[in-house]
Amino acid sequence: MNTTHTTATTLGMRQTQLFTKTRKQAPSDEISKNAQYLIRAGYLHKEMAGVYSYLPLGLRVLDKITTIIREEMNSIGGQEIRLSTLQDQGPWSASGRWSSADVDVWFKTELQNGTELGLGWTHEEPVTNLMRDHISSYRDLPQYVYQIQTKFRNEVRAKSGIMRTREFLMKDLYSFSRDQEGLDAFYDEAALAYMRVFTRLNLGDVTYKTFASGGAFSKYSHEFQTLSDAGEDIIYVSKEKGIAINKEVYTDEVLKDLGITRDSLVEEKAIEVGNIFKLGTRFSESIGLTFKDEDGKDQFPIMGCYGIGPNRLMGTVAELHSDEKGLVWPKSIAPFKAHIVRIGEVEEVVAHADALYETLTEQGIETLYDDRDVRAGEKFADSDLLGIPVRIVVSQNTLTEGQLEVVVRATGEKKMQTENELIEELSE
Ligand code: ATP
Ligand code: MG
């Protein structure tokens, strides 16, 4: 018996043990491509409009995305925390963001005694508040803390599948610096780390650092916008400079400021996958977070916030890396690296496919094994829909030839390989 288990962390999975089924049709009210494919392939379950559950294959993809984000945030000095979802009114009243009239995305609930609580839709207030226990001197700064945690937002519209939902993961990082220079330097480093995340997800070529409105403290904030017709935003892209301008700040004044001419820009639809923002002392002042500087004087830390949406990124990859047959995952976040598709139930074919599955997983190669007794056509269609980067066909034919038929999902390239050649390639 094989010893692998069907959980998000294991190397191998047999499809006869995978409880999810593929389906021909997405729910009729599902209009977005990302959710249609992800539901049909059994990655997701739609609970209601704007709310999705993640099934084994979907969770594997999401976990890989968050792992990449975590690695990049750790690489710039981020310390991971996990803040509560239930929110006490105190700090939010202090900052002026408790009222649902001011913040229309709040979900609120209450305790048995009637006390109102909120479900966190962002976390500037609680993180600033908790830092009052830990930051008191200039020696305590800078600090960079982040979390990957569920946010709740009562979004008016939910039409973009998992790209805009009412319950979603956010990686939110908060920086606390002594001075403006400290913030500026970290902000630039964070922007580079963001681009590394997008590059690792195969979105680097089509994701632009985009100038957006900055609020009271700085002229601009920056969004990271991935070009896609499925996007809800309009941006103006300078291919030459590798940057873009959001429609909301697209004025003559801003163009002049950035040294860009109108005719060098192309209007594009885009998905906002991330957002970085200089907050200044907006929250440290209102919530009362101070530190003593070198002269013993009280100062407010200068803050920044940095958000990325892992679910929205997964949806974005599904939109961009898919074709008419289904999903086409980049290797970095595919639920499995290899998909063994066994054709036929003949004893020696079964034995061969079983052995290959054992070998690949023993070699540390994440492998999904289609060991189901169903028609070849159905297996190939499912394999295309699932979108695992490399398909390995094991059949009476390949057995006779003494080689495996290997198909690259992204290109359709087909080749005959020995087991050793295959392992070498997959181990790269
Ligand atoms: P949008 O303008 O799309 O509503 P936002 O400005 O409200 O986004 P932020 O508050 O900056 O978004 O959140 C940081 C990141 O979290 C976004 O860049 C996006 O990737 C993700 N995100 C925001 N709202 C949602 C949502 N409703 N569903 C999924 N991901 C989201
Ligand atoms: Mg929003």
pLDDT for the residue numbered 7: 42
Q: How far is the CA of 121 from the centre of ligand 2 (A)?
A: 10
The verdict on 150 and 212 lying in the same domain is yes
pLDDT for the residue numbered 9: 61
Listed in order, strand segments (DSSP E) in 92-197 are: 107-110, 116-119, 143-152, 167-177
Q: How far is the CA of 253 from the centre of ligand 2 (A)?
A: 26
The verdict on 349 and 213 lying in the same domain is no
The verdict on 341 and 302 lying in the same domain is no
Q: Are 332 and 64 in contact (CB under 8 A)?
A: yes
Q: How far is the CA of 347 from the centre of ligand 2 (A)?
A: 56
Q: Are 75 and 108 in contact (CB under 8 A)?
A: no
The verdict on 120 and 158 lying in the same domain is yes
The verdict on 200 and 110 lying in the same domain is yes
Q: How far is the CA of 422 from the centre of ligand 2 (A)?
A: 45
Is there an atom of ligand 1 within 6 Å of 246 CB? no
> Which residue lies with its CA nearest to atom 14 of ligand 1?
307
CATH code for the domain of 407 = 3.40.50.800
Give the dihedral sign, CA 146/152/153/158: positive
Domain C-terminal end among 323, 357, 387: 323
Is there an atom of ligand 1 within 6 Å of 312 CB? yes
CATH code for the domain of 211 = 3.30.930.10
Is there an atom of ligand 1 within 6 Å of 339 CB? no
Specify the number of domains making up the chain.
Answer: 2
Q: Are 93 and 128 in contact (CB under 8 A)?
A: no
The verdict on 19 and 61 lying in the same domain is no
Is there an atom of ligand 1 within 6 Å of 221 CB? no
Ligand 1 closest atom vs CA 272? 18
Contacts of residue 29, Cβ cutoff 8 Å, sequence gap at least 6: 49
Is there an atom of ligand 1 within 6 Å of 210 CB? no
Is there an atom of ligand 1 within 6 Å of 155 CB? yes
Q: How far apart are CA 176 and CA 300, in angstroms?
A: 9
The torsion angle over the Cα atoms of residues 335, 339, 341 and 342, rounded to 10 degrees, is -100
Backbone angles phi, psi at 37, to 5 degrees: -65, -45
Q: How far apart are CA 58 and CA 43, in angstroms?
A: 4
The verdict on 97 and 119 lying in the same domain is yes
**Enclosing domain of residue 20:** 3-24+336-426
The verdict on 194 and 272 lying in the same domain is yes
Q: Which of 359, 357, 364, 325 is nearest to 342 (CA)?
A: 357
Q: How far is the CA of 410 from the centre of ligand 1 (A)?
A: 29
Is there an atom of ligand 1 within 6 Å of 274 CB? yes
Is there an atom of ligand 1 within 6 Å of 170 CB? yes
Is there an atom of ligand 1 within 6 Å of 164 CB? yes
> Which residue lies with its CA nearest to atom 24 of ligand 1?
164
pTM as predicted: 0.96
10-residue stretch averages of pLDDT, the chain, 428 residues long: 48 97 93 97 97 98 98 98 98 97 96 98 98 98 98 94 98 98 98 98 98 91 98 96 95 94 96 98 98 98 98 98 98 98 96 97 97 97 98 95 96 96 94
Give the dihedral sign, CA 90/92/96/97: negative
The verdict on 311 and 205 lying in the same domain is yes
